Amino acid sequence: PCALVISVPLSFFGGIGGASRNGILVKGSNYLESLAKTEIIVFDKTGTLTKGVFKVQKIHSEKIKPEELLKLAAYAESYSNHPISLSLKEAYKKDIDIEKISQVEEISGHGVSAAVENIKVLAGNDMPMEKFKIPYNKETSEGTLVHIAADGEYAGYILIADKIKDDAFEAVSDLRKHNIKDIVMLTGDSESVAINTARELGIDRVYAGLLPADKVEKVEELISQKSEKATLMFVGDGINDAPVLARADVGVAMGALGSDAAIEAADVVIMTDEPSKIAKAIEIAKNTIKIAYQNIIFAISVKVIILVLSTLGLASLWAAVFADVGVTFIAVLNAMRALRLNN
């Protein structure tokens, strides 16, 4: 029937158009359908639920001056574009002479080692300190601690804090209204920071201290826990999130500040970087599916009724015209609601 052929695809086009009006780019109608079936949502933390704008809050030095500690950290992290590294360089406020840096080696997901003016500097989280058996300050704080060791001796730490996005609370609250079974947060940050953020937002489960490969494994594990026809959504923004975005049933990237790799790997892109748009995307998807089913049921029902009446000799030519052209016109008008209902 014409009504089915025209109105069902048009419903999905309308849903995609309605989503784009709300700053949500959906890359295909199949992803819109997957959005409507979301059961588990997994969030990255930095840049997704938090602003990803780190600021140095405290410098705790041991045996050396605070200015020297900040210099060693800024120099060691100078080759990285990670938000934490950028915050250290911003706090240092001086030009970095790259000729004074050598033997730079990244410790994936944990920190960096480098020679700064012939001083062997190790900067990162707890793991590098433990790996090289360097006694360090195990203070817990509501922020990220960057520990620094110079020539194998602990030199101190720098406290860096990130802020939760203004609408992150609204995002988690709105998702509860859409019968989401589980809301999970994955992060490479320390457990104390992750737990504090999750507690503030009301997130069900949190896994901290994860490398990019660990996140993929954790998503694989969560996928095995969902219902057969349901989907798992992962929301991230960084280049490290690209493998997880590609593996999830529905990958959602933050588009305004997100990396090109994350946007390329994602199925849905939130152009405004607002996590609250995720609940809106699910609402749009469910409305679109609802309208598509309305059209299917309406078109088939009218066709069947007219066929039965025709068999009994009770249907006129005009009834047949209505069953074909009229129903198609009504179904198209109904499909166009997908554009308007979602604003």
Catalytic residues: 44
What residues contact residue 329 under an 8 Å CB cut-off, 6+ apart? none
Axis crossing angle, helix 29-36 with helix 2-21, rounded to the nearest 10? 80
Tokens of 197: 């953020």
Element (H, E) at 321: helix 317-321
Tokens coding 54: 């780190």
Q: CA dist 199 to 26, 45, 184, Å?
A: 31, 13, 12
For residue 108, count CB atoms less than 10 angstroms from its CB and return exposed for 0-12, middle for 13-18, buried for 19 or more.
exposed
Mapped onto helix, strand or coil, the DSSP state of residue 212 is helix
Query: Cα separation of 40 and 24, whole Å?
Result: 20
**45-83 b/e (C-beta count within 10 Å ≥ 16 → b):** bbbbbbbbebebeebbbeeeeeebbbbbbbbbbbebeeb
- The residues, ordered by sequence, that sit 6+ positions from 189 with a Cβ below 8 Å of its Cβ are 45, 46, 144, 208, 209
Distance CA 74, CA 71 (A): 5
Return the closest-CA partner of residue 71 out of 138, 134, 150, 16. 150
Alpha-carbon separation of residue 103 from 127, 129, 290 (angstroms): 20, 18, 59
Query: What amino acid occupies position 44?
Result: D
- Quick one: which H or E segment has residue 216? helix 212-223
Q: What SS3 state is found at 124?
A: strand
